[in-house]
């Protein structure tokens, strides 16, 4: 069974409430933004119940007709489903937002509001560590990739989805080989090459990070020009051209 872990006290209360009523014939709904773990939480407690999305009206009707206890996800999409089908059932549901307050109020005994990831500081660090380990296993040959959490541009706009995406991108960038970078560049250039100045435009993709990384590492334009094997004035010109903060 799926194991749901959270350090948020509000979510601990929701888990406790759902566990207390697990053996009872009561309907519960969890409402909260997309990608905050609603489905995972419910699966961890009610994993043995059939699960259906309210987006699939016909499958939902069929499942309701054949089951007294079920999980309905995407409850905000419920429509054209007769209320009589929903009555006298044990329904465990999730919704990203509320579309029909009266229906929710009539059907559900327990209405839980699950906080977004940005409001669960305790969970951000835990999930970041979890996704880093997961990404390293999948994307990196070894687990000792040099990781600095402060360097990750963490995005919580879409909760776990964007958090995971930002971490995977970070690990991917850290673990790419020369060949991977070439393939990436090939794909990018193939998709975007156009116009009458492409050589110059696409050279920038290489030149800009080359100088930025070199300056970050050696801190000195004199040293870097020597490493790059170019004249100091040429390097200075390119720094100005790319508006690099030197």
Partner 1 sequence: MHDIDFQSFIDNDNSPFILFDNNAKILYLNNSAEILLGYVLKSKIYNIALQYAPQNFGVKTTTLYLNYESFSFYAITVGYESEEQIYIRFYHAPKVKQNIKIDTDKLMLTDINLLLEANITLFKSRYKTSLKLLTDPDIPEFKIDQNRFSKLLRKIFDLFAKTKEISITLKFLVGEHIIIDNKHYHIIRLSIISDDTIDNNPKISNIAKECFISYLIQTNSVTLEIPLLID
Contact footprint for partner 1 (CB under 8 A): 10, 13-14, 16-17, 20-21, 24-27, 88, 90, 108-113
Per DSSP, the three-state class of 97 is coil
Q: CB nearer to partner 1: give 69 or 201.
A: 69
Q: CB nearer to partner 1: give 27 or 225.
A: 27
Q: CB nearer to partner 1: give 22 or 236.
A: 22
Q: How far is the CB of 148 from partner 1 (least distance, A)?
A: 36
Q: How far is the CB of 156 from partner 1 (least distance, A)?
A: 21
244 touches 211 (CB < 8 A): yes
52 touches 63 (CB < 8 A): yes
What's the rounded Cα separation, in Å, for the pair 82 and 90?
Answer: 16
Per DSSP, the three-state class of 136 is helix
Q: How far is the CB of 119 from partner 1 (least distance, A)?
A: 13
Q: How far is the CB of 224 from partner 1 (least distance, A)?
A: 56
Q: CB nearer to partner 1: give 60 or 86.
A: 86
Q: CB nearer to partner 1: give 14 or 117.
A: 14
Q: CB nearer to partner 1: give 85 or 109.
A: 109
Torsion of CA 31, 83, 108, 106, to 10 degrees: 110
31 touches 83 (CB < 8 A): no
Q: How many residues would you count in the chain?
A: 246
Nearest residue to 112 (alpha-carbon basis) of 31, 187, 201, 191: 31
Q: How far is the CB of 166 from partner 1 (least distance, A)?
A: 29
What's the rounded Cα separation, in Å, for the pair 211 and 228?
Answer: 9
Q: How far is the CB of 8 from partner 1 (least distance, A)?
A: 10
What is the DSSP annotation of 167-183?
Answer: HHHHHHHHH--HHHHHH
Nearest residue to 211 (alpha-carbon basis) of 230, 229, 231, 235: 235
């Amino acid at each position: 069974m799926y194991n749901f872990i959270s350090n948020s006290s509000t979510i601990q209360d929701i888990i406790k409430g759902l566990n207390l009523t697990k053996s009872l014939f009561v309907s519960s709904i969890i409402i909260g933004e997309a990608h905050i773990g609603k489905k995972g939480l419910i699966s961890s407690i009610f994993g043995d119940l059939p699960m259906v999305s309210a987006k699939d009206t016909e499958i939902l009707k069929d499942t309701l007709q054949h089951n007294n206890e079920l999980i309905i996800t995407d409850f905000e999409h419920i429509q054209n489903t007769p209320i009589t089908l929903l009555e006298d059932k044990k329904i465990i549901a999730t919704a990203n937002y509320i579309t029909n307050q009266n229906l929710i109020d009539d059907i559900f005994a327990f209405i839980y509001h699950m906080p977004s990831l940005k409001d669960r500081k305790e969970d951000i660090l835990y999930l970041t560590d979890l996704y880093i380990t997961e990404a390293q296993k999948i994307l990196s040959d070894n687990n000792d990739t040099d990781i600095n959490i402060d360097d990750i541009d963490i995005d919580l706009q879409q909760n776990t989805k964007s958090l995971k995406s930002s971490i995977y991108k970070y690990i991917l960038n850290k673990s790419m080989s020369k060949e991977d970078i070439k393939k990436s560049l090939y794909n990018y250039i193939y998709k975007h090459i156009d116009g009458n100045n492409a050589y110059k435009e696409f050279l920038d993709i290489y030149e800009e990070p080359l100088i930025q990384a070199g300056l970050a590492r050696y801190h000195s334009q004199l040293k870097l020009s020597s490493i790059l094997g170019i004249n100091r004035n040429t390097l200075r010109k390119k720094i100005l051209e790319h508006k690099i903060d030197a």
